[in-house]
Amino acid sequence: MKLMKFAAAAATSILLSTSIAAADDKPVVGLIMKSLANEFFQNMLAGAEAHAEKRGDYELRAVGMQNETDFESQINAVENFITQGVDAIVVAPADSKAMVRPLKRAMEAGIVVINFDVALDEGAKKQQGVDLAFVGPDNRGGAKMAGDALGSALGEGAKVVIIEGNPGADNATQRRLGFEDAVAEHKLNLLDSRTAHWETEEANQVFATMLTANPDIQGVMAANDSMAIGVVKALESAGRSDIKVVGFDAIPAVLPMIEDGRLLASVDQFGQEMAANSIDLALDVLAGGPQLEGWVKTPIELVAGE
């Protein structure tokens, strides 16, 4: 008897929930980001949540990861979203190759997939027969903007070094290439290029030593602002105010440094809006708009002092 009652109650509640969903009929968007320990993605999440509240015509389900390289949990997240039957998946892939296959399955299940922030690998896409547009900033172009700012401030032949992000990370590679483009264009003299794994303390140590080895450095290009802060501190301890530094990301902590000139420039890629914009694009496609093609570039902007 009791069991029957329970089963009946369960059945009604299932009916209820489906009817609620039917009445609401809001599209469900699954947002998959990288490490939420990263300031950039934390801001992005905040931006997406505010966006969902403001638009109010879709349901947001957001997931992040433990760390930058934990792509297995991203694959699981895609599979979970397929099972849940979401309408769209908006994803910043942690690995540009590993994510292609699970996303292909999602597309085959009729889910609208938007790839943002980091582009999926072209070769892997071709191999799997996936045709998917990319929505995101031009990391290489952004880094070149920062490098250009440094190049025009220093002039031809100036001696510069690069502080790189994590070796193997796609955005780290793109930013390094962008810096190298600027080096070539402004005919700068690149003395050394080393990783500090995106981190302030390591950048501080690595750069202080590079400065000892090359006291005639004139400019520094750091692949993110956390590392640029470490460089600026090393310059302060060495009593060198003649060396110019550029960073990337325009995090709040560097804005005072840009204002007082300790940092020449940084690059804002509007991470806060990036996820929200990608969701807008996904909803447009869901509403019957045309499929996206190629590379939908999102805005980037050089942030420099007066």
Report yes or no: 173 and 143 within 8 Å, Cβ to Cβ.
no
Name 172's Cβ contacts closer than 8 Å, sequence gap at least 6. Answer: 164, 165, 166, 195, 198, 223
Q: Report if residue 224 touches another protein, rule: CB under 8 A.
A: no
If residue 114 lies in a helix (H) or strand (E), which one and from where to where?
strand 112-116
**Least distance between another protein and beta carbon 36 (Å):** 6
Report yes or no: 274 and 44 within 8 Å, Cβ to Cβ.
yes
Q: Which is nearer to another protein, 167 or 305 (CB)?
A: 167
Taking contact as CB under 8 A, which single stretch among the options 74-82, 83-91, 95-103, 202-210 is the one that binds another protein? 202-210
Reported for 148-152, long-range contacts at CB under 8 A and 24+ positions apart, including other chains, are 148/182, 148/185, 148/186, 149/246, 149/264, 149/265, 149/302, 149/304, 150/182, 150/186, 150/188, 150/219, 150/221, 150/244, 150/246, 150/264, 150/265, 151/182, 151/183, 151/185, 151/186, 151/188, 152/186
Q: Report if residue 237 touches another protein, rule: CB under 8 A.
A: yes
Out of 107, 130, 153, 238, name the contact with another protein by CB under 8 A: 238
Q: Which is nearer to another protein, 55 or 197 (CB)?
A: 197
Q: Report if residue 268 touches another protein, rule: CB under 8 A.
A: no
Token pair for 184: 């070539």
Contacts with another protein by CB under 8 A: the residue count is 32
Torsion-angle region of 37 (φ positive above 0: left; ψ -120 to 50: alpha; else: beta): alpha
Out of 26, 27, 28, 36, name the contact with another protein by CB under 8 A: 36
Q: Report if residue 69 touches another protein, rule: CB under 8 A.
A: no
Taking contact as CB under 8 A, which single stretch among the options 84-92, 109-117, 119-127, 226-234 is the one that binds another protein? 226-234
Q: Report if residue 108 touches another protein, rule: CB under 8 A.
A: no
Out of 29, 38, 172, 235, name the contact with another protein by CB under 8 A: 38
Q: Report if residue 181 touches another protein, rule: CB under 8 A.
A: no
* Helix/strand number for the chain, H first, E second: 11, 12
265-268 and 59-65 beta bridge pairing: unpaired
Out of 76, 233, 280, 302, name the contact with another protein by CB under 8 A: 233
Q: Report if residue 42 touches another protein, rule: CB under 8 A.
A: yes
Q: Report if residue 210 touches another protein, rule: CB under 8 A.
A: yes
Write out the residues near another protein by the rule CB under 8 A.
36-39, 42, 167, 192, 194-195, 199-201, 204-206, 208-210, 212-213, 215, 226, 229-230, 233, 236-238, 251-253, 256
